Amino acid sequence: MTLRTLDDVDVGGKRVLLRVDFNVPISGGAVGDDSRIRAALPTIQELIDREAIIIACSHLGRPRGQTVPDLTLRPVADRLSELLGTNVTFISEVVGESVSRAVSELHPGSVALLENLRFEAGEERNDVDLARRLAALADVYVNDAFGAAHRAHASTEGVAHHLPAVAGRLMEREVHALSRVLQHPDPPLTLVLGGAKVSDKIGVIEAFLERASNILIGGAMANTFLLAQGYDVGKSLAEPDLVETASRLITSADQRAVQLWLPTDVVVAASPDDGSNAAVALVAEVENDKSIFDIGPDTVAAFAGPIRDAGTIVWNGPMGMFEREPFDEGTNAVAKLVADASGFSLVGGGDSVAAITRAGLADQIDHVSTGGGASLEFLEGKTLPGIAVLEANGA
Ligand code: ADP
Ligand code: MG
């Protein structure tokens, strides 16, 4: 199936309902990190250049169908205005007569932003009536909200059944990079996984047992695998009820000749606040009153080979509690290895992307995904509802 894109529709003079992911941090009534807004600019600029009438829409936070003043998108409209260098009309409702009226006053090449979609209870329920009312505002639907594509909501899935529906440029880039990794990766394929929980990532491990040559595991999720190997992890964050699953995954890797790399040494401390007393320990030597907060230097050295030699590298999840020094060292070292590697590199997951951005290495990564949950589900091989409708629906 091929994705329908902006190349497949005529948007000149037409009203375009543009779903974007403007779910950005807001504090004190102003936008914090605006990278999600910036990520949508190429699509918005193209639509402006093609003289579309742009009606952008997004969710923000979790208002659960209520109007929550702190979760208004008004500050986002202001930031978007600044970034585009053109006025963005903020429309203070999602649907209804006042919205239709405001839209009818827009000219080709102008941009409006609707209020937070999740102020409407029908959004997360994928309510047909809300989908129809959103569709009635426009002639064409463009979805650039990759980060929300794993959810079947009225603005990400439902509306696409009522209008010609295509992917925006960001969505197109995401699907292209992730498909490449999933369907025809340059071998050998190395998966680097970390983060808090095995439970979040079992699906990805299973999918990559079918296609990867190497799977490298760090972060707190490695602790559950260390338990499965019979090590004591002290007070470390782990999921004891998933030890059996971890054992099964280790056996499965063995049977498929997938090399599974686990930490051989780790950085331990009494608590996250005890960084000044952090010490390196072999995995067999973690004391009862200590927790593992990072991978150790021998593990970093071992991980270097399969990252350097990979034709394709996929990284999701930090190697330790990277928010706290000195437990960011393993993550920073892996970030550098992935950035320096010659293979095609893809990084997904909110915290891994934050780590690689903070290290100043994002521009050395071939594809930095804007979707956390969405990129994980894509890599699991699942069909994402927000993408499926852009493949099936015709203009
Ligand atoms: P991503 O957002 O990249 O998918 P996750 O959300 O799965 O990553 O996990 C990131 C979180 O995991 C971070 O908050 C980090 O502090 C935590 N973490 C990683 N390793 C450890 C560890 N050894 N102990 C405690 N927390 C950890
Ligand atoms: Mg996260």
Alpha-carbon distance of 241 to 360, in angstroms, equals 37
End-to-end CA distance of the chain: 15
Alpha-carbon distance of 337 to 305, in angstroms, equals 9
293 close to ligand 1 (CB < 6 Angstrom): yes
Nearest to 20 by CA among 34, 32, 30: 34
DSSP state of 32: S
Among 221, 351, 377, name the best residue to mutate to test ligand 1's pocket (greatest count of ligand atoms within 8 A of Cβ): 351
Q: Where are the alpha helices (DSSP H) in the chain?
A: 35-49, 74-84, 97-104, 122-125, 128-135, 169-183, 202-209, 219-228, 243-255, 297-308, 329-340, 350-358, 373-379, 385-392
- Binned at pLDDT 50, 70 and 90, residue 349 comes out as confident
* For the chain, percent of residues with pLDDT exceeding 70: 99
Q: Which atom of ligand 1 lies at the shortest distance from residue 350's CA?
A: 2
**219 CA distance to ligand 1 middle (Å):** 6
352 close to ligand 1 (CB < 6 Angstrom): yes
What is the three-state SS of 263-319?
Answer: CCEEEEECCCCCHHHCEEEEHHHCCCCCEEEEECHHHHHHHHHHHHCCCEEEEECCC
Ligand nearest, relative to CA of residue 221: 1
- Binned at pLDDT 50, 70 and 90, residue 1 comes out as low
122 close to ligand 1 (CB < 6 Angstrom): no
Nearest to 384 by CA among 206, 159, 207, 147: 147
239 close to ligand 1 (CB < 6 Angstrom): no
Ion ligand 2: protein residues whose beta carbon lies under 5 Å: 350-351
Catalogue the active-site residues.
36, 197, 350, 373
Nearest to 295 by CA among 285, 283, 277: 283
Alpha-carbon distance of 65 to 117, in angstroms, equals 9
Ligand nearest, relative to CA of residue 327: 1
- Binned at pLDDT 50, 70 and 90, residue 392 comes out as low
pTM of the full structure: 0.92
Alpha-carbon distance of 284 to 208, in angstroms, equals 28
Confidence check: pLDDT of 357 > 50:
yes
Cα–Cα separations (whole angstroms), residue 238 to 195, 220, 225, 243, 291:
11, 6, 9, 9, 10
320 close to ligand 1 (CB < 6 Angstrom): yes
328 close to ligand 1 (CB < 6 Angstrom): no
Q: What is the mean pLDDT of the chain?
A: 96
Ligand nearest, relative to CA of residue 322: 1
* For the chain, percent of residues with pLDDT exceeding 90: 94
Query: Closest residue (by CA) to atom 15 of ligand 1?
Result: 321
Query: Closest residue (by CA) to atom 9 of ligand 1?
Result: 195
**373 CA distance to ligand 1 middle (Å):** 14
234 close to ligand 1 (CB < 6 Angstrom): no
